[in-house]
Amino acid sequence: PPLLFQQRGDSHLCNLTAMQIFLQQQFDLVRASHCREASDCPKTKSQADIYTCKTQSADTSKHFGLNTTSLQGNTGFADFLYTMADNDVIVREEQVLPTREFLDTETISAKILVFLYSPSNGDSTLLTLTIIVD
């Protein structure tokens, strides 16, 4: 099955005085379009919750109940793609976690890896889709 792997960094508040009006407008838009009730977006209380600056250092703590793992020389968090794509929530360590929050403002990169094999030809291919978040 396809694998979803993400690398994470530490986030911190950005000192972007020139962008404050834009960030406030984006925050208002997100709240109006995705967070009609406060319970829809419990982690989105201010504009700092939708836009943060990231450092490139790897986060070694748990994320979504997952321990860090190594993949192709990189440290990050891996799970089956269908766990996040086919479910609205997952339960880990007695916590209900919305899958749409697996990739968030601390995500540096995400990879989807699919191993394909053709038994009739004996061919195998590793398809990798990489998303870099700046």
For residue 102, give both structure tokens. 């697996």
Q: How far apart are CA 78 and CA 39, in angstroms?
A: 27
For residue 4, give both structure tokens. 């979803």
Confidence of residue 89 (pLDDT cuts 50, 70, 90): very high
What lies within 8 Å, CB to CB, of 92 at 6+ separation is 64, 65, 66
Q: Which residue has the higher pLDDT, 98 or 11?
A: 98
| Rounded average pLDDT over 36-48 | 72
DSSP string, 45-85: SSGGGT--EE-SSPP-S-BTTBPPEEETTEEEEEEEHHHHH
Report the predicted TM-score, pTM, of the whole model to 2 decimal places. 0.67
Quick one: pLDDT at residue 54? 67
Q: How far apart are CA 109 and CA 105, in angstroms?
A: 11
Q: Which residue has the higher pLDDT, 72 or 31?
A: 72
Quick one: pLDDT at residue 127? 95
